[in-house]
Amino acid sequence: MNTRQQNKITYSWYGKPMSSDRKLRTSQYKGILITSERSRTETCIQLGNFILVEGENADQPFVAQLLDLYEDGAQQKHAVVQWFSHITEIPQNKRKLLKREISPQEVFFDQVPGYDTDIAVETIIKSIMVIPLRLGEELPVMLNKEQTFYVKQSWDGKCFKALSPDTFSKLKEARKKEGGIPNSSNSLIPSDIISPLKKETENVVRSTTKPKNVELEIESKHSASKSSLAKERHSQRVANDVKTPTARKKLQLNSPIRSPKGRLLGSEVLELLDDLCDAVAPLEPSATKRRVKFTGILGSPPKIPCANEKSKSVLDTAEDWQRFKDTIQLSPHSKVSDSNEKAKNLNVKDDTISLIGYQKRCSQSPVLSPCSRRICVQKTNTRIAEQVSILNALELNQEEDFLSSSDSSYSSSSEEEKDDVLCTPEKKTKSSRTLSTPKSSRKSSVHTPAKTPKKTPLPGTPKTPRNATPEIPRRNHAAQKPASILEEARLRLHVSAIPESLPCREEEFQDIYNFVESKLIDGTGGCMYISGVPGTGKTATVHEVISCLQQAAENDELPSFQFVEINGMKLTDPHQAYVQILELLTGQKVTATHAAVLLAKLFNTPGPKRKTTVLVVDELDLLWTRKQNVMYNLFDWPTQKHSKLIILAIANTMDLPERIMMNRVASRLGLTRMSFQPYTYKQLQQIISSRLNGMKAFEEDAIQLVSRKVAALSGDARRCLDICRRATEICEFASQKRTPEIVRMAHITEAIDEMFSSPYINAIRNASLHEQIFLKAILAEFRRAGVEEATVQQVYHQHIALCRIEGMQSPTISEIMAICSRLGACRLLLVESSNKYLHMQVRLNISQDDVMYALKDE
């Protein structure tokens, strides 16, 4: 993809406008030419073709079908598409509805309302194959995974449905048409072979797609931009093949790898082709015409690419014909045909290597008008289709043979692919291809792991398996159910227990809900800043809003959206925010700087099929950096026209934007603010009652007491719940012997005392006698000096004086130092580093009154 971006690519209309609307000043076209300047390639995509469209994630382009092409009044090129959803685009919780394994190659006919089907032409990457299949059908095993997708079901945002016969036939039609379009790079399969007889169809598809695979394999070795080179070479080779078999043989001699079977080939293919034509002739009167066609090609070696394409497709069909003939007439000889094919493929490769010199000449001298040629080929194709359907009918009897033939051809082709890899001189995709080869050659359609994501855009490529997230081991014994009413209450009062609804935050809930909802409906972006002291339910409310919105989106009342949450405290560095957002949005893991670039691109460029993103940034203040670029970017994205980003930023301080943000950041954050007031005691009471939900575990007064206490202190709901929980424990502890009782005032008081009482007083009271005397000595020294700081030496003298009064043995300096450092470790005292020995300064860490109060009672 990167190379694509560096490339200059021009998009131009193919052909003349089909119709134009005067009023709207639009004109419609039937195809578009994509010209890559660097590699001088030209691809033509026509209406009805299947295409890849650039997605927000470079690894995951969207699949779509081109329905309409038009140019509007402003000279902008537009395309109308029918989307196909990849499995990764379907919400996780809906995937289980499918009840089956989904191959990464499978897409769903998208009927989700709300996706913009009008896209800019510039987002089209290339054309691909989409093959409709019946629901029960197996995916045909294809080697060329990147180019081909299958569709079995449709997806309307809520459930999966089998394709309606109408869409099915339409898709098939489109594919047929595609097969007949000469310029499309995928025009090589006669897709018409799909017959109503299912089982058989599948087999046919499997076998017939083989040659195409080979073709595309060659192409995919080159980057997208180079693929047409390969085509040209290929067609040149075709021409050579047809014209001078001997010359080709010479080339073969030059080739690095040669199988004995390869020698079989050369002229034999031609012979077979001739045979085939002969065999068909009686059945089909126009067979002669085809021969004429051939000769036409023979006669004009220098061709424009478009003509080459045609000749190639003709040859391909011929190849298919050959296969059919084999299966019908020469089923015992299927081996021979296999080897032929194989050898031929070797040639394909050889030619690619050796015939590079030809390409320029080819593209320089156009002789035949592409249009007429195309028509011819189309005709031929339809004829072939007719014949094939007849043949299919014949084949019914020979299914066994057919199967064996297709199998052997399959295995041979996988071998080819290996050879292919070995001798491909292309560097670009080689590594990824060699990786994928062993897997794809396996019969089961295991999708290829470890693709280099940038070079081979494949939707649904699984991430490296090493990134599997670990899990804490499961417990061996089941967790006990709460046995008593107190245990049950404790469970419900735990902060982690999520209540059905959040009481007391209805207004805030409604405000946030309305904000996000309106933005969602408008399809615009915006920011909201939510502040409030810890434990006032900010995050919980936002989460509830999001889950309500998600519910609404599921019920189709709102457009669906993506929800991403980051927490400043859970990041090691503010810049990691980019990484986390990107990972949550697209699943990519990149470095912070790269993530910033990707996110900027994602939000700043109009993308098709983009959902609104709701981003919750918790603990916003921790995203502060000196240059504030993280915050700047976060709040800048929603202001972009196409971003569709809604940000809910949460922090503690009400005036955070004014205090720590630069003007340009604060201005982007906007003025939509909301502040969560600390809970009042009534609200806290309601919160506890609603959690207890009518359970008789607490006295009413007890609840009121705890609510009032906490409301007076902080209004932190977490604290409130913690106290209640502790009170249940105390209650349980106290009433162990007697009958179970409910939590009373006394228990609450005890719990509150335990949590909020200052530890210092108790610490002083439990200190040893000399430690207490030392504190007294400090007080005495402070009083003497009038300064609240003293050296140990000064305190020591006071200490000795006190000891004499008390009639106690006075401690040595070493002991005094030890006492001092012990009190310092508890932080009753603040002491300097001890290397100053007697001269270190000592201060009290608590008020003198507290010390006196603590020592008085003794």
Partner 1 sequence: SSQIVTKTNAFATRMLSGLKFLTYCCCQYRHLLELLKRTTVHGESNSALVIGPRGSGKTALLNWVLKELRKMKQVRENLLEVHLNGLLQTNDKVALKEITRQLQLENVIGDKVFGSFAENLAFLLEALRKGDRTSSCPVLFILDEFDLFVHHKNQTLLYNLFDISQSAQTPVTVIGLTCRQDILELLEKRVKSRFSHRQIYLMNSFDFKQYIRIFKEQLSLPAEFPDESFAQRWNNNVQRLPEDKTVQDTLQNLFHYTKDLRSLHLLLMLAVSNVTVHHPLITASDLQEASRQHRMDSRANIVHGLSVLEICLIIAMKHLNDVYEGEPFNFQMVYNEFQKFIQRKAHSMYNFEKPVVMKAFEHLLQLELVKPIERPSVRAQREYLLMNLLLDNNQIMDALQAYPNCPTDVKQWAASSLSWL
| Distance of closest approach, residue 683 Cβ to partner 1, in angstroms | 17
Phi, psi of 527 (to 5 degrees): -120, 150
Q: Which of residues 170-199 bind partner 1 (CB under 8 A)?
A: none
Cβ proximity to partner 1, 23 vs 477, nearer residue: 477
Q: Which of residues 794-813 bind partner 1 (CB under 8 A)?
A: 796, 800, 808-809, 811-813
Rounded to an integer, what distance in angstroms lies between the CA atom of residue 588 and that of residue 590? 6
Look at residues 22, 133, 4 and name the one whose alpha carbon lies nearest to residue 61: 4
Cβ proximity to partner 1, 146 vs 781, nearer residue: 781
442: left (phi over 0), alpha (psi -120 to 50) or beta: beta
AA letter at 522 = D
Q: Does 470 bind partner 1 (CB under 8 A)?
A: yes
Helical H segments across 34-113, by residue range? 92-95
Cβ proximity to partner 1, 22 vs 477, nearer residue: 477
Among 16, 96, 477, 856, interactor with partner 1 by CB under 8 A: 477
Among 771, 778, 795, 842, interactor with partner 1 by CB under 8 A: 771
Among 253, 468, 712, 787, interactor with partner 1 by CB under 8 A: 468
Long-range Cβ contact pairs of 319-322 (< 8 A, separation 24 or more):
319/211, 320/190, 320/193, 320/208, 320/211, 320/384, 320/388, 321/273, 321/276, 321/277, 321/280, 321/384, 322/269, 322/272, 322/273, 322/275, 322/276
| Distance of closest approach, residue 668 Cβ to partner 1, in angstroms | 25
Cβ proximity to partner 1, 411 vs 484, nearer residue: 484
Cβ proximity to partner 1, 407 vs 729, nearer residue: 729
Cβ proximity to partner 1, 72 vs 488, nearer residue: 488
Q: Which of residues 531-550 bind partner 1 (CB under 8 A)?
A: 533-535
DSSP run (H or E) holding 171: helix 165-180
Which one of 164-172, 216-224, 407-415, 753-761 is the stretch in contact with partner 1 (CB under 8 A)?
753-761
Q: Which of residues 488-517 bind partner 1 (CB under 8 A)?
A: 490-491, 494-498
AA letter at 5 = Q
The DSSP letter of residue 138 is P
Rounded to an integer, what distance in angstroms lies between the CA atom of residue 50 and that of residue 61? 12
Residue with token string 């080979």: 214
Q: What angle do CA 62, 63, 69 make, to 5 degrees?
A: 100
Measured on CA atoms in the order 450, 452, 456, 458, is the torsion positive or negative? positive
Which one of 252-260, 275-283, 415-423, 814-822 is the stretch in contact with partner 1 (CB under 8 A)?
814-822
> How many binding residues for partner 1 (CB under 8 A)?
80
Contacts of 444 (CB under 8 A, 6+ apart): none
Q: Which of residues 610-669 bind partner 1 (CB under 8 A)?
A: 619, 622, 652
| Distance of closest approach, residue 373 Cβ to partner 1, in angstroms | 56
Q: Assign 349 to helix, strand or coil.
A: helix
Among 16, 23, 96, 475, interactor with partner 1 by CB under 8 A: 475
Cβ proximity to partner 1, 416 vs 618, nearer residue: 618
Rounded to an integer, what distance in angstroms lies between the CA atom of residue 858 and that of residue 766? 11
Q: Assign 143 to helix, strand or coil.
A: coil
Cβ proximity to partner 1, 671 vs 813, nearer residue: 813
Judge whether 217 and 426 are in contact, CB under 8 Å: no
Structure tokens belonging to residue 633? 């970017």
Q: Assign 564 to helix, strand or coil.
A: strand
DSSP-assigned beta bridge partners for residue 567 = 618
| Distance of closest approach, residue 563 Cβ to partner 1, in angstroms | 15
Rounded to an integer, what distance in angstroms lies between the CA atom of residue 647 and that of residue 665? 14
Q: Does 74 bind partner 1 (CB under 8 A)?
A: no
| Distance of closest approach, residue 729 Cβ to partner 1, in angstroms | 7
Q: Does 787 bind partner 1 (CB under 8 A)?
A: no
Among 101, 471, 753, 858, interactor with partner 1 by CB under 8 A: 471
Contacts of 683 (CB under 8 A, 6+ apart): 503, 504
Cβ proximity to partner 1, 521 vs 808, nearer residue: 808
Which one of 75-83, 207-215, 353-361, 464-472 is the stretch in contact with partner 1 (CB under 8 A)?
464-472
Look at residues 53, 65, 137 and name the one whose alpha carbon lies nearest to residue 103: 137
| Distance of closest approach, residue 93 Cβ to partner 1, in angstroms | 16
| Distance of closest approach, residue 808 Cβ to partner 1, in angstroms | 7
Q: Which of residues 815-834 bind partner 1 (CB under 8 A)?
A: 815, 818-819, 822, 825-828
Among 480, 663, 739, 833, interactor with partner 1 by CB under 8 A: 480
Measured on CA atoms in the order 433, 435, 441, 444, is the torsion positive or negative? negative
Rounded to an integer, what distance in angstroms lies between the CA atom of residue 144 and that of residue 13? 29
Q: Does 840 bind partner 1 (CB under 8 A)?
A: no
Q: Which of residues 77-116 bind partner 1 (CB under 8 A)?
A: none
Cβ proximity to partner 1, 22 vs 626, nearer residue: 626
Q: What binding mask, one character per residue, do residues 412-451 give for partner 1 by CB under 8 A, x or -?
A: ----------------------------------------
Q: Which of residues 688-747 bind partner 1 (CB under 8 A)?
A: 716, 718-719, 722-723, 725-726, 729, 733
Cβ proximity to partner 1, 99 vs 626, nearer residue: 626
| Distance of closest approach, residue 696 Cβ to partner 1, in angstroms | 21
Residue with token string 């709460």: 482
Q: Angle of helix 506-522 relative to helix 538-554, nearest 10 degrees?
A: 50
| Distance of closest approach, residue 258 Cβ to partner 1, in angstroms | 41
Q: Does 837 bind partner 1 (CB under 8 A)?
A: yes
Look at residues 270, 286, 209 and name the one whose alpha carbon lies nearest to residue 238: 270
| Distance of closest approach, residue 578 Cβ to partner 1, in angstroms | 11
The DSSP letter of residue 164 is P
Q: Which of residues 203-242 bind partner 1 (CB under 8 A)?
A: none
Q: What angle do CA 847, 853, 856 make, to 5 degrees?
A: 140
Rounded to an integer, what distance in angstroms lies between the CA atom of residue 40 and that of residue 10? 11
Cβ proximity to partner 1, 298 vs 813, nearer residue: 813
- Number of residues that make up the chain: 858
Cβ proximity to partner 1, 6 vs 693, nearer residue: 693
Q: Does 394 bind partner 1 (CB under 8 A)?
A: no
Cβ proximity to partner 1, 89 vs 618, nearer residue: 618
Which one of 62-70, 300-308, 473-481, 522-530 is the stretch in contact with partner 1 (CB under 8 A)?
473-481
Among 793, 834, 841, 847, interactor with partner 1 by CB under 8 A: 793
Q: Which of residues 547-576 bind partner 1 (CB under 8 A)?
A: 569-573, 576
Cβ proximity to partner 1, 181 vs 817, nearer residue: 817
Cβ proximity to partner 1, 112 vs 790, nearer residue: 790
Cβ proximity to partner 1, 388 vs 599, nearer residue: 599
Which one of 20-28, 402-410, 486-494, 516-524 is the stretch in contact with partner 1 (CB under 8 A)?
486-494
Rounded to an integer, what distance in angstroms lies between the CA atom of residue 49 and that of residue 121? 14
Cβ proximity to partner 1, 51 vs 622, nearer residue: 622
Q: In what order do the strands lie in the sheet with 31-36?
A: 9-14, 31-36, 41-46
Q: Does 472 bind partner 1 (CB under 8 A)?
A: yes
Q: Which of residues 9-68 bind partner 1 (CB under 8 A)?
A: none
| Distance of closest approach, residue 810 Cβ to partner 1, in angstroms | 9
Say how far residue 119 (Cα) sits from the centre of its chain: 21
Structure tokens belonging to residue 56? 């927000």
Say how far residue 168 (Cα) sits from the centre of its chain: 29
Phi, psi of 680 (to 5 degrees): -85, 170
Q: Assign 385 to helix, strand or coil.
A: helix
